[in-house]
Every structure is written in C-alpha cells, then in structure tokens.
C-alpha cells in the first residue's frame, strides 16, 4: 500500500465517521421512540390482563378475540372508507386553492396565505373541533342562516357529515400548503409551452400541472389519509361515535377491563394499514418520476 | 457542676457573631416557609372532587394541599391503582360497586366504624352499604349519591312521557336520543324496562338476550354516544332531546343554568350511583384523610357535595339535609331533598324504585362491553 492509498483510506474512514456522527442522533431517536415502542406494542398484543394488570405471556387470545368480532371488521371498513373519502374530498377542495396560490397570486400574497394556513395549527385541534358545535348545531350559525331562506334546520352534528367536517378542519390547511409547495415549484415555461402548443386550461392542468406536481399531491393525500385514519376527536365529538372508528374502539377496549393488549391488536392493524397505504402511495409517486 | 457549666462557653468572636447572625437572617424566610409548607394529600377521584369548591376550606384550615388524579369509570380507577406502588394514593373516591374489588385486591385500609357518625345517615342502607363491609370490618364510607333515570328536554318530551323508558322509542325522537357512553347505566336501564327490577344486574341467558334485543331496537333512535362533555353539550345545544344512562348529575348543572332539561325516575325504576371514600393502603397521612372524610360527612361537607360545581349529588346525612334546606332551599327543592316531597330521593329508595348500580352478576364486564361495541356499530 502506498502512502497515498493509506491517506485515501484514512480520509474515507473519517468521512464515514463524520457522516455517522450526524446520523447517529436520528438513529438513536428512532430506536428509542419508534422501533422500541413498536416492538413493545407488538409484544403487548400477546400479553394477558388479570385483575386490571397486564401479565407477560405469549398467547394468541387477543388476536383471536378481536378478529372474531364483527364490530372490529365493521369499524375497520368504516374507518378506511371515511379516511379514503376525506382524502379524496380534501384533495379536490385543496387543489383549486393551491392552484390559485401557485399561479394566480404574487409571491408576497402566497407567503401571507401560507402563513394564515399555518395559523390554525397554533391552536388546539380539540378547541377547533368544539367550535364547530356553535356553527353546526341545530340552533347554530349555519341553520340560522338557512332559516332566512326557509330551509332547515338540518342535523349536522353527530353525523358522518360532522365527522367529515372535523377531518377537513384537521387536514385541509396542511394539504393546501403541501399542494402549493409542490405546484409552485413547477417551471412556468412548461405551462407556457403547453399553451403555445394549443392546450386549453383543463388540458394544461391534467397533462402538465398534475403530472409535474404529482409527488406533492400524493404526499398531501397520504398525510390527509394518515391523519383522518387515526383521528379520534372528530368521529367522537362531531360524529357522535356513531358508528365508532378504530380509534374509538381502542378507547372503548381500554376503558372496560383495561384490555390494553386487545387495544394493541387494533393499533397494530391500524399501523399495518397506514404503512401499506403510505409505502404504496409514495412508491407510486416516485416511480414514474424516475422514468 | 455549676462551675463546669459556667466555664463551657461558646467561643464567640465579633466576626463569628456577624457571620452566624447574617446566615440566620438570610435563612429565616426559608425556615418559616418550610414550617408552613402544606402536607400533600394524593387523591384519586372522579373529576371535580379535588377542586377548590370541595377541598379549599379544608386545605386552608389544616394546611394541606390536595393533589388530585382524576379518572373516569371504575375500571380506569382499578387500573390506575394496580399500576401504582402502594401508598401512592392517600384517599380514593370509589364508585360504590367497586369498593369490594378494591378491598379484595388489598388496595384500601380498614376503617374504624366509631370514627364516623353512621347514626346520622338518612337511610339505613347507607350505613351498611353493599360491599363496604367485609367480615364485619369497614373499608369504605359512603359520601354521596345520585339517581339515573330518564333525562329529557322539556320542550320535546312531556313529564308524563318521561315516566317510562319507553319514551326513548317515541317516533319524534328519532336520531335525538343520546347515550352516555358507558354500558353499565344504559344497559341497566334497559334491564329495568324489561321488568327485571331488583334483579337488573343478575340476568340469566334468556333475560340477557332480551335486554340485548331491546337495546338493539333502540339503535335507530340514537343520535350519538357521548362522554361527559359531549353529553353536556348535546343536551345544552338541543342536539339531543332525551338521554339514556344519566340523571340529575348532568341535567342538574344545565337546569341551574336555565336549560329546559330535567331528569325523573320512571315507573320502571332508577339506578343509584354511589360515591364512597376509602383510605389508600399504605398511606402515611391516614389521620389527615380520616379528618377529611369526617369533614365531608359533616353538614358543611355534605352541602358542598350537594352544590359541587362539576356535578351535584344528594346529601346522605340528616344534619346535611337540614343545613342544605337552610342555606340553599332552592337546590333542596329542585332535587327533592325536602322531607315529604314526592320526588325525595330517600323516599324513592324506601319505595323500592331505586336500585344500586352494580356490575353484572352472571356475565362478565367484558361481555357487556362487547355487546356495547356491537350496539354502537349496529
């Protein structure tokens, strides 16, 4: 080995060490606060509860119990459907707003708009949800306005509609921001080229803007799905827990008999669903871009 | 000897005197503060019991500070104690039906019956409340109670209709009947509707099936399942016109606020929730806790309980009722806590129309909870 080889090898080692030093905190963090609890959650799903105390065991009884219950399957289908519905609805509502912010307003206006979209996150989601009581109740603002034109009152709280309003309260600002970031990165010359080649507005959106912003649009949709799928507050307080979602089922399971292992089964099923949806969506989002 | 004493002098110089004097002056406020530091009493209770309106006067008079941990439901209480080391909680407020489980698990201390004035109880059952005594030993003292029946909005349900749980099936109430989201009171009420009376918790398979069928038939009427806040709000803003599984502990707060709601005990009978105090096993402040329980059973304590901001309860002592009628006759009248009133809760118990809340006898809590989940999904 020559001296230059030795120096190069030393440099590579020190570079690896340098890189590891920067990566280490995030690795440790993930191990401590994600992988560790996740493994414990999986282990806990095999534990038993006796006299309100968990006992370490390796029994399948919790899995068998939950999978044999019709209400678990019903709650799963309902939660999946509601989260998917919220994702589609939110993405559709967010798109025109994000489009306008990306292409129709000045840089300064866009900055202010994003600032105002972030502001809701400064307040408690629970408080924002409860504020809908004033707006959606039968004696609330919306029904009072509708009564002026001879309509209503309509029941909006404790319905699927109420739950959906809650989901959008949680996710819409975030999805608009993500879509805006994605679309504002598009090189405007592509859009001009599309117009020059005779594309109409709709064709430009479907053939140029959406494909170019696809990654951001999908990431926004995935975030919406994840937040809605795991949300407890909206289906409980605005949907009246009627029917319950998986998050509510977790609460119900722990409330009676302190069945944390059975709640762990529900939580693992939820996580597996979210992992599947997230990985599939992200793989799809990036796959075409690489071609 | 005297010589020795007189010759044993502390060698003091002017510098040392100034040094120790200055130290003493600087430390004085802290010494005073240490001596005035209140003793912390750790309380495990339903929400509201550790708030200033309940414990403030006792804290001030006895230089103690209550550190309250709140729970919702007996299962939750049992779990919190089970997961804590002995001695964590000095005082435990338990639902009456869970005292025997606390005792069986060895979580509470034995009490001395002579410390409490049982002769003053308004009803003999309160002295020998089920589960509070075991093998002639006292383990818990009842503090307050309340009755669960039909809770309704007076603009949509008449007092006559509210005399039966059947009013929940009234066609006009479709989508307007709410449930307090706990299986025990709601299924207990369905059991009463099925005519199970005093045996409402002791259901054989056929009776249990009948209760389930009746409950499921109510599902189309149901507008939602709520926790305390949701129940409160949905009645207040008129979203729900009738509520199953609650009583004056929620409508009482709203009624005092002017809402057109009320609770009555229907002809099929009602259910009593009972709250009792226990001293936590291994508590080092048992004497102070005992003094607090005595205070809460005193007329002043009982009135505080009846007027509790979070949710009102009925007084259980004669002296407490007398004082309530003197200082707050409006509340006494509103809740029927006046001798001779038709809706006097003690009279209702004596007439056999009230049944103490219990846990299922022939089924497990899990069976009832499973059905509750199915019902919510139906």
pLDDT digits (tens, 9 = 90+) for A197-220: 999 999 999 999 999 999 999 999
- pLDDT at res. B1: 36
B-chain CB neighbours of A155 within 8 Å are: 175, 223, 239
pLDDT class for B14, splitting at 50, 70, 90? low
- pLDDT at res. B76: 85
Q: How far away is chain A from the Cα of B28, in angstroms, using its nearest Cα?
A: 45
Mean per-residue pLDDT of chain A: 92
The mean per-residue pLDDT over the stretch B248-274 comes to: 95
Q: Which of B59-68, B227-236, B264-273 has the lowest mean pLDDT?
A: B227-236
Question: Which of A65, A138, A158 to mutate to test binding with chain B, by most B CBs within 10 Å of its CB?
Answer: A158
Domain residue spans in chain B?
A: 146-271+356-377
The mean per-residue pLDDT over the stretch B305-317 comes to: 96
Mean per-residue pLDDT of chain B: 91
- pTM, two decimal places: 0.81
pLDDT surpasses 50 at A86: yes
More confident of the two residues B11 and A186: A186
- pLDDT at res. B3: 39
Residue A43 domain flag = no
* Three-state SS annotation for chain A: CCHHHHHHHHHHHHHHHHHHHHHHHHHHHHHHHHHHHHHHHHHHCCCEEECCEEECCCCCHHHHHHHCCHHHHHHHHHHHHHHHHHHHHHHHHHHHHHHHHHHCCCHHHHHHHHHHHHHHHHCCHHHHHHHHHHHHCCCCHHHHHHHHCCCCCCCCCCCHHHHHHHHHHHHHHHHHHHHHHHHHCCCHHHHHHHHHCCCCHHHHHHHHHHHHCHHHHHHHHHHHHHHHHHCCHHHHHHCCCCCCCHHHHHHHHHHCCCCHHHHHHHHHHHHHHHHHHHHHHHHHHHHHHHC
**Chain B contact present for A259, CB below 8 A:** yes
- pLDDT above 90 covers a percentage of chain A that reads 81
Give the containing element (helix H, strand E) for B151. strand B141-153
User: Over the stretch B178-201, which tens digit does the pLDDT of each residue have?
Assistant: 999 999 999 999 999 999 999 999
Decide: B291 and B269 in contact? Cβ < 8 Å.
Answer: no
User: Over the stretch A125-157, which tens digit does the pLDDT of each residue have?
Assistant: 999 999 999 999 988 999 999 999 999 789 999
Report the CATH number at residue A159.
1.10.3720.10
Nearest CA in chain A to B174: A155
- pLDDT at res. B4: 38
- pLDDT at res. B30: 44
More confident of the two residues A87 and A252: A87
Match domain B146-271+356-377 to its CATH number in 1.10.3720.10, 3.20.20.10, 3.40.190.10, 3.40.30.120.
3.40.190.10
Beta bridge partners of B40: B65
Question: Which of B224, B369, B374 to mutate to test binding with chain A, by most A CBs within 10 Å of its CB?
Answer: B224
The mean per-residue pLDDT over the stretch B5-15 comes to: 47
Residue A3 domain flag = no
The mean per-residue pLDDT over the stretch B129-138 comes to: 94
Residue A27 domain flag = no
Q: How far away is chain A from the Cα of B78, in angstroms, using its nearest Cα?
A: 6
- Cβ contacts below 8 Å, chain A against chain B, sum to 101
Q: Which of B353, B354, B377, B373 lies closest to B365, judged by CA?
A: B373
pLDDT class for B311, splitting at 50, 70, 90? very high
Residue A36 domain flag = no
Decide: B108 and B281 in contact? Cβ < 8 Å.
Answer: yes
pLDDT class for B32, splitting at 50, 70, 90? very low
C-alpha of A89 from chain center = 13
- pLDDT at res. A197: 93
Can you give the residue range of the structural domain that contains A102?
70-290
**Chain A contact present for B225, CB below 8 A:** yes
pLDDT surpasses 90 at B10: no
Closest CB to A52 among B79, B227, B368? B79
What are the CB-based long-range contacts (under 8 Å, 24+) for B205-209? B205/B362, B208/B362, B208/B363
- pLDDT at res. A163: 97
Choose the most confident range, by mean pLDDT, from A46-60, B33-47, B129-143: B129-143
- pLDDT at res. A217: 97
Q: Do B365 and A257 touch (CB under 8 A)?
A: yes
pLDDT surpasses 90 at A14: no
**Chain A contact present for B53, CB below 8 A:** no
Residue A33 domain flag = no
pLDDT class for B19, splitting at 50, 70, 90? low
Closest CB to A252 among B76, B233, B373? B373
A-chain CB neighbours of B224 within 8 Å are: 157-158, 239-242
- pLDDT at res. B29: 47
Q: How many domains does chain A have?
A: 1
**For residue B50, what is the DSSP state?**
T
Question: Which of B227, B243, B377 to mutate to test binding with chain A, by most A CBs within 10 Å of its CB?
Answer: B377
Beta bridge partners of B144: B275
- pLDDT at res. B219: 96
Rg of the Cα atoms in chain A: 25
B-chain CB neighbours of A69 within 8 Å are: 370, 373-374
């Amino acid at each position: 080995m020559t001296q230059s080889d030795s120096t190069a090898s030393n440099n590579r080692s020190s570079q690896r060490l340098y890189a590891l030093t920067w990566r280490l905190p995030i690795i440790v963090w993930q191990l401590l606060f994600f992988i560790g609890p996740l493994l414990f959650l999986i282990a806990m799903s095999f534990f038993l509860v006796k006299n309100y105390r968990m006992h370490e065991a390796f029994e399948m009884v919790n899995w068998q119990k939950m999978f044999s219950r019709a209400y678990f399957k019903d709650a799963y289908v309902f939660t999946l459907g509601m989260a998917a519905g919220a994702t589609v609805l939110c993405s559709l509502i967010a798109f025109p707003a994000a489009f306008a912010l990306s292409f129709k307003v000045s840089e300064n206006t866009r900055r202010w708009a994003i600032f105002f979209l972030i502001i809701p996150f400064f307040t408690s989601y629970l408080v924002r949800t409860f504020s809908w009581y004033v707006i959606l109740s039968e004696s609330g603002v919306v029904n009072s306005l509708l009564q002026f034109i001879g309509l209503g009152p309509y029941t909006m709280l404790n319905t699927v509609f109420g739950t959906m309003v809650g989901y959008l309260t949680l996710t819409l600002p975030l999805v608009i921001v993500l879509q805006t970031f994605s679309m504002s990165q598009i090189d405007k010359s592509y859009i001009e080229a599309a117009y020059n080649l005779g594309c109409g507005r709709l064709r430009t959106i479907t053939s140029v803007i959406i494909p170019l912003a696809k990654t951001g649009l999908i990431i926004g949709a995935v975030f919406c799905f994840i937040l809605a799928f795991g949300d407890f507050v909206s289906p409980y307080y605005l949907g009246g827990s009627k029917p319950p979602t998986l998050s509510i089922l977790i609460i119900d399971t722990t409330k009676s008999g302190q069945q944390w292992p059975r709640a762990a089964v529900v939580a693992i099923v939820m996580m597996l669903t979210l992992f599947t949806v997230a990985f599939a969506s992200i793989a799809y989002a990036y796959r075409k871009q690489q071609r | 000897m005297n010589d020795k004493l007189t010759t044993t002098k502390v060698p003091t110089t002017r510098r040392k005197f100034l040094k120790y004097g200055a130290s003493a002056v600087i430390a004085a406020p802290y010494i005073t503060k240490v001596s005035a530091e209140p003793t912390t009493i750790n309380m495990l209770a339903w929400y509201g019991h550790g708030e200033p309106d309940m414990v403030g006067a006792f804290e001030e008079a006895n230089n103690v500070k209550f550190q309250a941990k709140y729970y919702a439901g007996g299962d939750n209480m049992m779990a919190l104690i089970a997961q804590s080391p002995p001695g964590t909680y000095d005082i435990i407020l338990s639902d009456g039906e869970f005292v025997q489980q606390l005792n069986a698990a060895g979580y509470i201390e034995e009490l001395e019956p002579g410390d409490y004035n049982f002769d003053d109880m308004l009803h003999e059952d309160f002295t020998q409340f089920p589960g509070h005594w075991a093998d002639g030993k006292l383990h818990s003292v009842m503090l307050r109670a309340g009755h669960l029946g039909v809770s309704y909005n007076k603009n949509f349900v008449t007092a006559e209709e509210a005399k039966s749980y059947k009013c929940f099936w009234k066609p006009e109430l479709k989508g307007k009947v709410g449930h307090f989201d706990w299986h025990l009171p709601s299924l207990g009420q369905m059991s009463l509707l099925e005519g199970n009376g005093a045996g409402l918790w002791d259901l054989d398979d056929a009776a249990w099936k009948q209760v389930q069928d009746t409950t499921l038939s109510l599902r189309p009427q149901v507008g939602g399942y709520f926790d305390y806040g949701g129940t409160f709000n949905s009645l207040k803003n008129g979203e729900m016109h009738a509520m199953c599984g609650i009583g004056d502990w929620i409508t009482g707060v709203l009624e005092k606020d002017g809402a057109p709601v009320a609770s009555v005990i229907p002809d099929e009978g009602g259910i009593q929730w009972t709250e009792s105090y226990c001293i936590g096993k291994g508590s080092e402040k048992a004497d102070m806790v005992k003094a607090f329980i005595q205070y809460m059973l005193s007329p002043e304590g009982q009135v505080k309980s009846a007027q509790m901001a979070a949710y009102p309860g009925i007084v259980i002592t004669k002296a407490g009722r007398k004082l309530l009628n003197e200082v707050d006759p409006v509340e006494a009248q509103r809740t029927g806590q006046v001798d001779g009133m038709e809706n006097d809760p003690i009279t209702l118990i004596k007439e056999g129309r009230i049944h103490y809340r219990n846990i299922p006898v022939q089924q497990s809590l899990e069976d009832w909870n499973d059905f509750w989940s199915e019902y919510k999904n139906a």
